[in-house]
Chains A and B, each alone.
Chain A
Amino acid sequence: MIDFSVDDTGSTGTLILSGPLTIQHALSLKETLLKVGGDVKHLILNLDQVSSLDLTALQMLCAAHREWVKKGKKLTREGNVPDIVNRVVRESGFTGCLENDDVIGLWTGASN
């Protein structure tokens, strides 16, 4: 499930990703991430309910993350990063793949 909502001011958006983030859902994830990139100045990412994650999702989140950082968007995270996400990030060697500060703590697995 992918849910994206924007607050009344239109400048802060919350992206809630839940369930399996796998190749079957890759296209809809991409569409949402593209939409997110264009809409808001402050993005809140919620991965709390992600049940599985694969490399296709990791690649997209990584590409999106780079673009958000490049565009100077403010990124924060709410909720926890599930163990499954941390584990896949770690096993796939994506930990620390960005040298910039990891503001959402996704790649380093750190809590906000």
Chain B
Amino acid sequence: MAVEIDTSAFTEEAYELLSELEDSLLELEERPTDIELISRVFRAMHTIKGSGAMFGFDEVAKFTHEVETVFDMARSGTLPVTKALIDLTLAARDQIRSILDASRGGPPADQDNANRIISGLRALAPQKGGAAATETKAAAAPKADAEGPHVYRVRFEPKPEIFSSGTNPLLLLNELRDMGQCRVVAITNTLPSLEELDPERCYTHWEIFLTTTQGENAIRDVFIFVEDDCTLNVRLLTREEEQEDAEPKKLGEILLERGDINEEALGKALTPLGDRLVNAGVVSADKVRAALTEQRVVQEQKQQQTKAAEVDAVVRVPSTKLDKLVNLVGELVTVQARLNQISGRLNNQHLQLVAEEIERLTGELRDNTMSIRMLAIGSTFNKFKRLVRDLSTELGKQMELTTAGADTELDKTVIDQLNDPLVHIIRNSIDHGIEKPEVRKAIGKPLVGQIHLSAVHSGTSVLIQVKDDGKGLDAQLLRRKAVEKGLLSPDAVLTDQEAFMLIFGAGFSTAEKITNVSGRGVGMDVVRKSIESLRGTIDVQSELGKGTTITLKLPLTLAIIEGLLVGVNHDYFVLPLAAVEECVELSPKDIANSHGRRIVNVRGEIVPFIRIRERFAMDGERPIIEQIVIANVDGRRVGFGVDTVVGQHQTVIKNLGGSFQYSDEFSGATILGDGTVALLLDLARMVRYVEMQETKETGGA
């Protein structure tokens, strides 16, 4: 059958399965006798193989088949799970990924590597019959979990839209045929008239009577890839018949059990028989009634289970559709703000009621939509287990990665962009932080270094921490290196905290030699930029000899934030509300007292401020009383001088166009209720640029 196949459905699923496979293998390394884990690994590979074959990824299917064959021996207990097996299976997992990447335009997969992996795996397998035996076993379907041949009734009802995912149900039927003697009956009673028929929907379902020595699990495995797209019922028919007291089923029982007639119809048909039996004194009327009730209860229970399964079903939606939904909700929030403004101005009670109701609904819709985009960070954490494992081997260090808060949810966009910075930080911790085992032993530390990765919600932010028990950062050394590299003037005074932040400077590295892992001084700079582009901040705590903790503070979402709307002249700006601490007034007297410096005295504390009007060379006269919004920027209090503080504003963030690519003091824009555009300020960048400018001016003076 030549159905147009959407291979992206397979590749996306396969990438997920490979990720699961990796997690399971790493867990299996810790618990090599865990049968459930071995089965999980096997099932992941079996699904990749089956779906690969179904979608025409023959190379994936063929290669995975070889790996699966060896792993099947582990499943059956004939091959122990060893580090060598895990290493090779992890390498196989990477090879499958390479093949998939190649199919998406990546570099071609290394066939020699594939051969090496297969040879390695075969060498591990017990040599009974050698490769030929492996081949024979591989050709067979998964191991039987039932004794003797049994007849199963498999009811397979694909969802009507199954074709759109590229699935060809006939290939699944053929896979069942490989398991034994198979009779397939197509049920077409829901087939509409030709006029009403949508050619791209599946109206057919099947009843398959399969005589096989394999068990129910093996049958279900065939449908793993489509389990969300079908209703599947597998019933062992012969075992029931084998029961000593079981009599062959009556036609009525079979029809009822199969759902071909309902109990009401059967009841009507049986009543005369029941009556006759009752009249003949063979059975009591109660017993007939009880038998019918038993049938009904069992059937209702079945229906409820099916319904529950349907309710729990997960719908997979392309993220682009979700992005579009978020954009539309963003537009709605803007329009709703406009409606509020208009209703307030018109002072019409009826209109205000409607506006309030729409405000409530919009709020709920916004929260719901944002919650759909939230993903647990656990999947990102799991990737690092492999990273730590591989780097341990590469660097000859012993390490253990522990995680906490894997179920902490973050916006999908944030999670997507968080992977690379975290990789850099963890690599850095392993390379620079954790000492070699002999060093750790000499200083009385446990041989195995610890890296703890955690995530926790903190208000509207998420704190992600990477904590190691390595040698810690040496503030003096960092200062010296910075001066040597000309990144810091020799007479600069830095606190330890500020010195720690030097590691995020461009071109800064204290590594004595450059390794594959780190030392080029680009990684941590990239980390800082990436985190800032996510409107996040970085904090470093370190104690020499004890370890380092790097904390990333990230916003929960990038699409809508709470902002503080401020006005300068006739323009508006938004400051992220999470950073704002307070607002104070700046009177002419305060200005006079500061003797030309841009500082404000807040209850005895001197706080520097940046006047937005001056920063952006805006026209217009300053008001007599200015407003200073004090925000926490990288751990310091900095003020921002504005004309007016309008108030809290639900900010739907829009990206700025290409013409703003060099204006990175703005991290986006938003549209106000009346259509005016307000720019969202990137406070950290703004402060940094002002400081750089002042340093330059001072130096030049």
Contacts and interface: CB of A to CB of B under 8 A. Distances in A.
A and B held together in a complex:
yes
B206 A93 contact: yes
Given A54-B2, A94-B186, A26 B200 contact: yes
B173 interface: yes
Interface in B153-172: 163, 168-170
A29 B247 CA distance: 50
The DSSP consensus for interface residues of chain A is helix
A56 B199 CA distance: 6
B170 A22 contact: no
A11 B99 CA distance: 57
B191 A59 contact: yes
Contacts of B186: 92-94, 97
B618 interface: no
B203 A59 contact: yes
A94 B185 CA distance: 7
Given A27-B199, A91-B174, A97-B186, A56 B163 contact: yes
Nearest to B164: A23
The DSSP consensus for interface residues of chain B is loop
Contacts of A83: none
Residue among B169, B195, B199, B200 with the most chain A CB within 10 A?
Answer: B199
B188 interface: yes
B208 to A, nearest CB: 8
Interface in B1-26: 1-4
A82 to B, nearest CB: 14
A23 B184 contact: no
Given A27-B199, A91-B170, A59 B2 contact: no
A63 B197 contact: yes
Interface string A27-58: 10110011001000000000000001111101
A60 B184 CA distance: 19
Contacts of A94: 186, 188
B106 interface: no
A91 B169 CA distance: 11
Contact of B1 (A52, A62, A64): A52
Given A54-B1, A59-B204, A92-B184, A23 B163 contact: yes
Residue among A53, A67, A91 with the most chain B CB within 10 A?
Answer: A91
B191 A91 contact: no
A92 B163 contact: no
A37 B195 CA distance: 10
Interface in A74-107: 88, 91-94, 97
Nearest to B196: A63
Contacts of B194: 30, 33-34, 37, 60, 63-64, 67
List the 10 closest A-B pairs by CB distance, nearest first: A26-B199, A93-B184, A54-B1, A93-B186, A22-B2, A63-B194, A23-B3, A94-B186, A93-B185, A30-B199
Interface of A: 20, 22-24, 26-27, 29-30, 33-34, 37, 52-56, 58-60, 62-64, 66-67, 88, 91-94, 97
Interface of B: 1-4, 163, 168-170, 173-174, 177, 184-186, 188, 191-195, 197, 199-200, 202-204, 206, 208
18 contacts: A20-B2, A22-B3, A24-B2, A29-B199, A30-B199, A34-B195, A54-B1, A54-B2, A54-B168, A55-B163, A56-B3, A58-B204, A59-B197, A93-B184, A93-B185, A93-B186, A93-B206, A97-B186
